[in-house]
Amino acid sequence: MSNAFIGIDTARHLSAVAQACPKGWHVALCADDKLLDCTDDASAQEVFASLKEQSVALGGSDSQEAVVGELWVHLLPVVDHLRACLGTVLVYGTHGADLEAVFSRVSLLVESLQNEVTLSMELSDMADELNRRHEELNLIYNTNEQPDDEADDEVILESIVENVVDYLEAELVLLSVPSRNVWVLQGAHGVDLSAHQRLLEETEPAVLDWLKKNRQPLVINSVEEAQGYQFKGELPFRMLVVPVTNDREEIIGGLALCRLVDGARIVNSDKNLLTALSRRIGKVIQVSFDPLTGLPRRMKFERMLDRAISGLMTNREQHCLLHVNIDGLSSVNEQFGVRTGDAAIELVSKHLAQLGRSADVCGRVGGDELSLLLLNCSQSVALDKAEVLHDVLARQPFLVGRTRQSLRVSIGVVSVGRSTTATEAMTKASVACGIAKERGGNVTQVYEAAYEKVTQKREEVRLLTLVHQALERDDMFQLYAQPIVPMQKDEAAPHFEVLLRLFSEDGEFISPVDFIPVAEKHSLMPAIDRYVARNAIATLGRSGILEHLPGTVCSVNLSGQSFGSDSVLEDLQAILAQYGVPAQSICFEVTETAAISDLGGAQYHINNTRKLGCQFALDDFGAGLSSFTYLRVLPLDYVKIDGSFVKDMLTDDIARTMVQAIHSVGHAMGLQTVAEYVETDDIAEDLKRLGIDYGQGFGLGKPVPMTGYLERYAHRERRING
């Protein structure tokens, strides 16, 4: 079929044209010198061949008439907005009386085909253009404006400072970010840095206070101007200091350029360039340091650990590494939101950092994981410090919800010698920490070599056993509902996503992050998906809510293993019939990654699911190597914008543009958009301004047990209706 008519139901249009004609007349469509579609194949082939023999032009932009034997043939062009011919509709039959009125109606029907083709082409062009823009944004997002996690931030920062010295004719350049222990001082050739370092150190606190108070660059072009600021010591320089900010636009340090008093004056171009470089510095620091705690991230911490190991001179010398995991943090995040969890991380990191000396290194090496490197430290001293941390946290209750609780941490300790690599040290400390958690948590465990393989296998077996038990029982897996909230208009009926929670026999919450990978490894996801679908649909049917609110939509996730299974589809059909739940009340969600792994298969399975009447959503769009092409070829109802863009959209222009682009192309293709990770009111308001259809996240509604969620809705509806 011609590219212009791909996706167009030409048979429907030709049938409508034929019905407007006298009895015995037929219709055909030609394009690209081919016969594409017709209402009578035998006669169409004959007419088409005869027109070719007569050299009748089938690609003209004006209506024509021709005679083929006893048949009168009317050629009606289908043209684009530039009057270029996309194809030709042939209307033919025996000549009768006055056909003018008939062909007036026929022309209107052909015009409707032309309009649909034109709209389809415009939509395709728009999708291609947005796809190109999306790829450009991805390129920008991942190039030097977003420093590589593995790049050495110290080398990058020293290079930036060195370039300022070289290109801005500076006598001295100082980068200072005290909270991140960043201090880079460089001078022009021949400058004695030691002669000025003490003066700059004395002046630094007052300058940073001035920047934080005034939130603008500091420009001093003479000694007299410097005296007006009453800084400690007399500055023999012209000075420009611009703020360095974090991702929340908080001032965390400054970049200072110093010139001799008889050197060039500080001008606007100096200020603009230095400000641009300070933003680059902020991004480098953002990659290397955790914005929540201010501690080095894992890659930087490992580089610092590696340098510390290289500094050991003899086999008798050793460092000690503490790996700290906050017990139950995933449960706190699930029940009370990430803000409560973040506050717990901040508190533990503060106390852990205070255990170290000025030369020791503390880092945040994972979501709920912290590390402390104690330089030239014995194991016994490290164990004493671990017990101090346990004691401090026990004596300082932490507010969780409406109650105060003592934070508990599991700690792994490992000695680090010359023969140990940074990666080995981190792995061993993590294994020891895992043993501490197995012992019930809130204890300290020293690493022993025999633990590692046994621990990993034991934990996998434990989780696998729990999943098998949960599939056989009714009290270990629990279904929670998280609302999907309309952003542009009020809707009476609820729209929510079903989330699966696993609890052990003694009530311990098992995070999906832990048990889902084990279930995938052992091919248990289809069984889990069947469990979730069956129980979600049964709960929805029993609730009675569909009688009062028939527009209710329940979203159920399908794993990649289930998505390609015909048997799962058959089961879903049976489950819907068993519980009398209308198919349009169910929306299945599949991740972008699972869908694009087999695009043809994805089209097939989504089409079959939609034939049941169910809706379909593409989850986490934008998280991987996204392309709007997927949206064009997959028959979807919703596209869910990956939360990594949504949560950063107020502080990152690129992230906001991504959200806007995905929404624009989604709407152009008739899809509704859902923004994930809506954590604050400000993000929700910005999403409304962009026109996003739905939002989901702790800022709009936390996950709650599904049964209670539906009961509240049903009770409210009964109360409203008396």
CATH entry, 298-449, from 3.30.300.30, 1.10.357.10, 3.30.70.270, 3.40.190.10: 3.30.70.270
Q: What is the rounded distance in angstroms from the CA atom of residue 438 to the CA atom of residue 432?
A: 10
> Which residue stretches of the chain have pLDDT < 50?
1, 97, 135-149, 625
Asked if 3-124 and 153-288 have one fold, the answer is yes
pLDDT tens digits for range 674-709: 999 999 999 999 999 999 999 999 999 999 999 999
pLDDT value of position 588: 92
Q: What is the rounded distance in angstroms from the CA atom of residue 462 to the CA atom of residue 508?
A: 13
Q: Where do the structural domains in the chain lie, given as residue ranges? A: 3-124, 153-288, 298-449, 474-720
Measured between its terminal Cα atoms, the distance across the chain in Å is: 58
CATH entry, 474-720, from 3.40.47.10, 3.20.20.450, 3.40.50.300, 3.10.20.30: 3.20.20.450
Q: What is the rounded distance in angstroms from the CA atom of residue 271 to the CA atom of residue 257?
A: 10
Q: For every residue of 647-703, which 3-state class applies, written as one string? A: CCCCCCHHHHHHHHHHHHHHHHCCCEEEECCCCCHHHHHHHHHHCCCEECCCCCCCC
pLDDT value of position 282: 87
pLDDT tens digits for range 254-286: 999 999 888 888 888 788 888 888 888 888 888
Fold of 3-124: Beta-Lactamase (3.30.450)
Strands 237-245 and 251-260: antiparallel
Please count the CA atoms within 13 angstroms of the CA of 530 that sit on its side-chain side: 19
pLDDT value of position 206: 87
pLDDT tens digits for range 49-87: 898 888 888 877 788 888 888 888 888 888 877 788 888
Fold of 153-288: Beta-Lactamase (3.30.450)
pTM: 0.49
